[in-house]
Amino acid sequence: MSYYDYIIIGSGIAGLYIALLAIERGSVLILTKGSIDDCNTKYAQGGIAAPIGKGDSPESHFEDTMAAGGGLCDAEAVRILVNEAAECITDLIGLGVPFDTLNGEITLTREAAHSVPRVIHAGGDATGEHIEVTLSQQVRSSPIEVLEHCLATEILVENDKVKGVKALDCRAGSMEEYSCRFLILATGGVGRLFKYTTNSDVVTGDGIALAFEAGAEICDMEFFQFHPTVLRLPGVAPFLITEAVRGEGGILRNVEGYRFMPDYVAEAELAPRDIVARSIVYEMKKTHSDRVFLDVTHLPPRLITTRFPHIYRFCREHGLDIAEGLIPVAPAAHYLMGGVSVNECGETNISGLFAAGETACTRVHGANRLASNSLLESVVFGKRVVERTEMIQKLTVTASVPQQSRRCPSEEELQARRRGSEEPYFLPEREMLPSVPAPNLPELQSLMWDKVGIIRSGESLSEAASILSSWQRFLLQPIDRPSSELNDLVLCGRIMTEAALLREESRGAHFRTDFPHTLPEWQRHIVFRKDHGAE
């Protein structure tokens, strides 16, 4: 069995950035289930939030992040995010990411719920593509080993310590084991759970399912963000129309041409995402339509073509000139706030197992993520993962407490703040439904969209929980990537649904018609862990 100091699963921003830092400290293997650039990162449009502009400050970024998070952001984690942002942006520039500049200064755009323009971008609206291509080129010209088309299927744990990972070589069809000192999950979110989604088809919750099966704690799964403005054109796959379009002055109109957002909320189009997405759903219902329109026809055409060249081109290719016509949009699944529960150095409750990027739940986003904080979270907490592993290495070698790293807290502090302070829930036993068909991906995606989507209720969630639980019993031992992904999605869907059922309130992205208010007794996190005793 091959041994590496670090095995990283996933090759989006989190996996690649961590690999580039880790290779300075030991041997690194990246396993990724598609080709290296198959990931969500590549599709990021708006950019990376960082409080680096004149008139901005980490304090202001902190306030905006906390306000969007609906009372569930971890203040300590958010402080880290905003204070360490500038340094990570400098790292990315050093690695060659070509952020847009004007007269030598980085240009900043505004997105919803940010009080100032603070979002750095590249290629106008092609930020993710520039990041992914730059980082993957750096990885390719380094000693990092990359195995593409290699699907991680099981985390190997012995005596509560990570030993390695089992993976399927999707091309050869063979199963391999790799061992390591540190295993880092950077497998992204779970956006393919839903019928309408902005997410790449590799984003199927694998890391979360694997971590759960291995005994790791999974947190905040009920908080899933739906992006308000995703292109809704017949026969065209959902395509994101970045929030930055509204930041630059885009207006939402219903099918009758009426600007409706000011009727719902004072910040109108720039209200937090959950509010805009729900307002659009209400407006679509009111007007008996499956879409609303985003209007940029009042903006200078040059601004549209230079700031949003990618969107402009994509729409043009599908017969729509957005400088002249309205853009049909509707909400779609976008981002998971929850995930594998980690402390501020990316550690899970299993020794040697780390998580970073969208897979991880650092608790910076709380119940609702502020736009463009995700790429930032991936790099800020990714860097901390590597620093923590370095500290652990030194601890082992010198058998004495090394000088404390600037970023990583001491062992005692980490113990005190180690995740696992909440009493975890186990998935409840549910009665097997007599006549449920065997699960398949489209049915799962429709079920989640209809019953566990933007607007939920106890009734819809109970129905979904029963079906998902019955489906879990139908699932077969996976034999290939699709069957493995389906199993992982069903498990993630189940955890999400059970968490949403438990949370009898509405907060951030989680909205229930039977509990429409935010309740102080629910200002806490819901954590799930596998009940190994029940096996």
Question: Could you list the residues that contact ligand FAD (CB under 6 A)?
Answer: 9-15, 31-34, 38-41, 43-48, 127-128, 151-152, 186-188, 198-199, 202-203, 206-207, 240, 335, 357-359, 372-375, 378
Distance CA 434, CA 81 (A): 48
CB under 5 to 8 A by kind: which of ligand SIN, ligand FAD, none does 243 bind?
Answer: ligand SIN
Cα 239 to Cα 197, 232, 365: the distances in Å are 8, 8, 24
Cα 406 to Cα 21, 402, 409, 516: the distances in Å are 16, 12, 8, 43
CB under 5 to 8 A by kind: which of ligand SIN, ligand FAD, none does 364 bind?
Answer: none
Q: Which of residues 318-357 bind ligand SIN (CB under 6 A)?
A: 335
CB under 5 to 8 A by kind: which of ligand FAD, ligand SIN, none does 368 bind?
Answer: none
Stretch binding ligand SIN (CB under 6 A), from 150-158, 371-379, 433-441, 525-533: 371-379
Q: Which of residues 122-181 bind ligand SIN (CB under 6 A)?
A: none
Tokens coding 377: 């979270």
| Residue 372 binds ligand SIN (CB under 6 A) | yes
Residue 338 or 409 with smaller CB distance to ligand FAD: 338
- Amino acid identity, residue 450? D
Stretch binding ligand SIN (CB under 6 A), from 88-96, 238-246, 339-347, 470-478: 238-246
Residue 65 or 470 with smaller CB distance to ligand FAD: 65
| Residue 366 binds ligand SIN (CB under 6 A) | no
Q: How far is the CB of 358 from ligand FAD (least distance, A)?
A: 4
DSSP reduced 3-state for 16: helix
The set of catalytic residues is 273
Residue 92 or 244 with smaller CB distance to ligand SIN: 244
CB atoms within 10 A of CB 316: 13
| Residue 243 binds ligand SIN (CB under 6 A) | yes
Distance CA 255, CA 54 (A): 39
Backbone dihedral region for residue 103 (phi beyond 0: left; psi -120 to 50: alpha; all else: beta): left
Size of the site for ligand SIN (CB under 6 A): 9
- First-to-final CA distance of the chain: 29
Cα 92 to Cα 16, 58, 143, 293: the distances in Å are 11, 19, 19, 35
Residue 74 or 377 with smaller CB distance to ligand FAD: 377
**Exposed/middle/buried for residue 147 (C-beta within 10 Å: 0-12, 13-18, 19+):** middle
Q: How far is the CB of 198 from ligand FAD (least distance, A)?
A: 4
Tracing tokens 């497998």 back to the chain, one arrives at 187
CB under 5 to 8 A by kind: which of ligand FAD, ligand SIN, none does 203 bind?
Answer: ligand FAD
Among 371, 392, 427, 448, binds ligand SIN (CB under 6 A): 371
Residue 188 or 346 with smaller CB distance to ligand FAD: 188
Among 341, 374, 484, 497, binds ligand SIN (CB under 6 A): 374
| Residue 108 binds ligand SIN (CB under 6 A) | no
| Residue 242 binds ligand SIN (CB under 6 A) | yes
Residue 250 or 453 with smaller CB distance to ligand SIN: 250
Q: Which of residues 20-59 bind ligand SIN (CB under 6 A)?
A: 45-46
DSSP code at position 476: P
Instruction: Give the CB-side neighbour count of residue 320, counting CA atoms within 13 A.
Output: 21
β-pairing verdict for 174-185 and 2-9: parallel
Residue 28 or 252 with smaller CB distance to ligand SIN: 252
Tokens coding 307: 């700031």
- Amino acid identity, residue 531? D
Q: Is 339 in contact with 355 (CB distance < 8 Å)?
A: yes
Burial 255-283 (b: 16+ CB within 10 A, else e): beeeebbeebeeebbbbbbbbbbbbbbeb
Q: Is 207 in contact with 356 (CB distance < 8 Å)?
A: no
Q: How far is the CB of 356 from ligand FAD (least distance, A)?
A: 7
Binding stretches for ligand SIN (CB under 6 A): 45-46, 242-244, 335, 371-372, 374
